[in-house]
Structure 1
Amino acid sequence: MKRTYILAVAMVLAVAGYAQKKPKINKANSARENGDLVEAKSIIDAAIEHEKTKDDGKTWYYRGLIYATLDTTSNEQFSALAENALEEATEAFAKAEEIDPEGKNYYVSGEFGIPVLMEQQISNYYSHYYNKAVTAFQNSEFEEAVEAFENSYAIVPEDTNSYVNAAYAAHNGELYDDAVRNYRLAIDNGATSKDLYYNYVNILATAMGEKEKALEVIDEALEQFPADGPLSKNKVNILIELGKIDEAKGNLEDAIKSEPDNENLYFTLGVLYDELDNMEKANEAYKSAIEINPEHYESNFNYGVNLINSANEIIKESNNLGMSKADQKKAKELEPVIQEKLKEALPQWEHIHKIAPTDKTAIETLAYIYTQLKMYDKAEEMSEKLDNL
């Protein structure tokens, strides 16, 4: 009995000694390179727990490589080894960078013995999903595209393209919850295009019926783009739909009292009156904005549009007249009124062209006015500018 007891103790000590044996992390990576992902995973899982390897940056670097390989392998037996391989891989790479930010030892030997750095490997990992997403998008497989773009930004969170494209893919696929989430992420992560706000607001207000939330997003966008016409117009339209037009008008008028030199407030008031079909009040607001800032493009443009629309309404009326003597008489009476309206609009559109020399709408409108006023040399000049755009 005594000898048996001693033997049992010896066996326990041997097992304990074996369990505490330091994992060979280089062997884990070699197993990965040789395609033995079962062994690679087994060694590296042990290494992150072992006292002598758990704080070694290279342990986490190799773990990132191994789990990235498990994540992207086409072998179902291997891919089944890890349930959240992408998450494990990205966390491991981040841990490796935390331990050694310079990461001079984070590389493997590639073709012809050329070192392949961790940064390059992460980039390749990112590209695997990004390219997969682009292909899915082009094939109108929007759900797959969204997932792959989201995997891309999980790997490289600072790349805004993946957030933006995930939002676009979801939007195209009418996956509105995914679209809203990714538009929000794109904006929060530094994407700056106004189109993101336009699309975000459109989904909230139209597809999802969340008009109050849409107003919050518009207000946020207007902080960055205070003179943006479509945003202001959207806001006014939503307020009208919500029955809050008087509240909106009151808020704007109070704001103008507090900031009488803020041209953007007058511009927004003009947009509000335009949406209420009160052109006279709208023009007053736009002119107030222009008095404060003569080069305020949006106010000048909207005022110019209203002026040319006034002329076009009379031109339309004249064109709809018949061939009777009464109609012909009426047409002659309208002709000087049309000319007067066009002459009133002309300096405004010339000013808009001066502010924005390459604005196509301004050039086209000037060409039209010059032609109507028989200023053919000027009209030809505008036509040449259009050709050179």
Structure 2
Amino acid sequence: MKFKQTFLFVFAAVLTLSAYAQKKPKINKANSARESGELAEAKSIIDAAIEHEKTKDDAKTWYYRGLIYATLDTTSNEQFSGLTDNALEEATKAFDKASELDPDEKGLYVTGDMGIPVLMDQQVNGYYSYYYNTAVEAFSSNEYETAVSNFENAAYIIKDDTGAVVNAAFAAHNGELYDAAIKNYRAAMDRGAQSIDLYYNLLNILVAAKKDNDAALALVNEGLEKFPNDPVLTKNRINLLINMDKVEDAKADLKNAIKAEPENPDLYFTLGVLLEETEDIDGAIEAYKKAIEVKPDHFESNFNYGVILINAANDVIKEVNNLGMSKADQKKAREMQPVIEDKLKAALPQWERVYEINPDEVQAIETLAYIYNQLGMKEKYKEMSSKLN
């Protein structure tokens, strides 16, 4: 009989403990503990709440968890900062889960000073700003590793933001942390950052620092899909193909592309740049002229053709400038003046055309001012000089 009584007592004790373990966590108490600085208690309650049947699917549970773990992540109190080693990850995951459970975020706020509601979105932005501002301070002090780490943390908090991840790339690049720079430039592009400078900077690392021509060529090809007329990417593509001993392949690809799209001026322009880089100037002129024939206001082709023409004049001018002071040299210089004048006159209409297409192109204005001055066209020269000023 005593044995049975003992058994019943133990069984009852087990039932009592089980009932106690299943008690619903008080999530409001967790947040109150956070606000009063009792972070260990807040963490203990909220960790239980995400496991409990009655609170695990409550958006506010996850919202409070995000706040608690964000506070653990950013606290300067060593007593609490060591309570978890993945606070950033857990806080961000919790905010995301809260937003998933309450897409309108209507119930996700706390009451701030003066009784004004502080929304989850505002708190997440504040969390982001904490890391972003820390990164900016580190960057200003040339502490590039710290800057990169904090910019990356900011980018982790708001995953569709491009500002932090772009700056992480810049900080890494400045600090010659090339692997981190590559990772963040790519992340910025993947998030939709549109600046062509991202391609330029990443290309610089791949070519100069990593010497990875294959990766650089793939990047250039990707960039040209977004910026098909960009002369910097076009020229880099050609230089890469030359360095990779693929010039003939490039020519063949371009010529096949031109056969398929004979009315595409960009293809003629690219062929012109390739031929110019391989010092086939006559072939380049022919390609640029063909692009202009297809599209008369194709700026890049008009511009490059103009550069070839002005360079022809400048080559003769340099030759004259390098002559000595002997009578023979001076005689030769005088004989070459008409040649210079003819070449400048040949270049003039093309640069006027470039200027007509884009009157704000500084190099066109400078070149026209130079030609007008060399040819003694005073009024035209004054007009261009005035525009420059």
The two structures have a TM-score, normalised by structure 1, of 0.98
Aligned twin of 2:101: 99
Q: Secondary structure of 2:376's partner?
A: coil
Cα displacement (A) at 1:48: 0.3
> Across the two proteins, how many residue pairs are aligned to each other?
387
Cα displacement (A) at 1:2: 3.3
From 123, 128, 138, the equivalent of 2:140 is 138
State whether structure 2 residue 293 is matched by structure 1 residue 277: no
Aligned twin of 1:186: 188
Aligned twin of 2:315: 313
Cα displacement (A) at 1:12: 1.2
Cα displacement (A) at 1:148: 0.8
The amino acid of 2:33's aligned partner reads: A
From 265, 269, 289, the equivalent of 1:267 is 269
From 148, 153, 156, the equivalent of 1:154 is 156
The amino acid of 1:151's aligned partner reads: N
From 368, 371, 378, the equivalent of 1:369 is 371
Question: Superposed, which structure 2 residues align to 1:167-186 within 5 Å?
Answer: 167-186=169-188
Deviates more, 1:130-139 or 1:17-26: 130-139
Cα displacement (A) at 1:41: 0.4
Matches of 1:309 and 1:214, distance apart in 2 = 30
Q: Secondary structure of 1:140's partner?
A: coil
**Runs of 4 or more off by more than 3 Å in structure 1?**
none
1:167-193 Cα distance to aligned partner (Å, 9 max, x none): 111111111111111111111111111
Matches of 2:37 and 2:298, distance apart in 1 = 64
Cα displacement (A) at 1:76: 2.0
Matches of 2:284 and 2:82, distance apart in 1 = 65
Unpaired runs of 5+ in structure 2?
Answer: none
1:198-231 Cα distance to aligned partner (Å, 9 max, x none): 1111211221111111111111111111111110
The amino acid of 1:344's aligned partner reads: A
From 33, 36, 42, the equivalent of 2:35 is 33
The amino acid of 1:28's aligned partner reads: A
Cα displacement (A) at 1:278: 1.9
1:51-105 Cα distance to aligned partner (Å, 9 max, x none): 0000100000000100111111111221111111111111111111111111111
Question: Superposed, which structure 2 residues align to 1:199-238 within 5 Å?
Answer: 199-238=201-240
1:328-371 Cα distance to aligned partner (Å, 9 max, x none): 11111110111111111111111111111111111111111110
State whether structure 2 residue 52 is matched by structure 1 residue 54: no
Cα displacement (A) at 1:284: 1.1
Aligned twin of 1:22: 24
Aligned twin of 2:351: 349
Cα displacement (A) at 1:10: 2.0
Matches of 2:295 and 2:84, distance apart in 1 = 62
Q: Secondary structure of 2:165's partner?
A: helix
Q: Secondary structure of 1:74's partner?
A: coil
Matches of 2:304 and 2:136, distance apart in 1 = 39
Unpaired runs of 5+ in structure 1?
Answer: none
From 187, 195, 198, the equivalent of 2:197 is 195
- Say what the alpha-carbon RMSD is for the aligned residues: 1.0
Q: Secondary structure of 1:116's partner?
A: strand
The two structures have a TM-score, normalised by structure 2, of 0.98
The amino acid of 2:4's aligned partner reads: K
Cα displacement (A) at 1:7: 2.2
Matches of 2:47 and 2:10, distance apart in 1 = 29
Matches of 1:104 and 1:41, distance apart in 2 = 24
From 360, 363, 382, the equivalent of 2:362 is 360
The amino acid of 1:336's aligned partner reads: P
The amino acid of 2:66's aligned partner reads: G
Matches of 1:244 and 1:182, distance apart in 2 = 30
Matches of 1:339 and 1:372, distance apart in 2 = 8
Matches of 1:100 and 1:344, distance apart in 2 = 70
